[in-house]
Chains A and B, each alone.
Chain A
């Protein structure tokens, strides 16, 4: 059974204080690892897809990396508008289209 564990559950940063969110996973045949951002009361919004170990993707202050066991979402010099819950999900080869989601990391960036 595919599993995704995200840590920490919550992270409070000062504006400009860089940090990383972790997504540890076990999956049978990784087809893709996905990062989403979710604002309160809204649906998740897609950020990145990573397909193989060593791959990296960047968008503004966010950078996602992937190894065979975990993915990191690095946030450089965050701003208050980066405050949200960040979800990680994996798509395995054997679970017929069902992505497995982690419980998310809630990031709060204080000005």
Chain B
């Protein structure tokens, strides 16, 4: 079974600084997708970024970028110029393209932003 591991339950960053959230996954597949979702205190789940495994280029969305290391099965999220509104729980998720695969989430990491 595929697993997604977020080993750091909590992290903290100073406003305007950069922070990296770690995620590793276990799979024997070569064709899959990876996601980062954000859950602010409002409880709404929001897509942050998406990465296709067959694309070597790291995905970027404004201040959010990923470091996708396929061989190492690592998918970290970098948040640049952190803002108070970035404070949230962040979930890493994985799904492979096979017929019976469903999106699997990590346990999440709580990010706090210090003013």
A and B bind: no
Residues of A within 8 A of B (CB): none
Residues of B within 8 A of A (CB): none
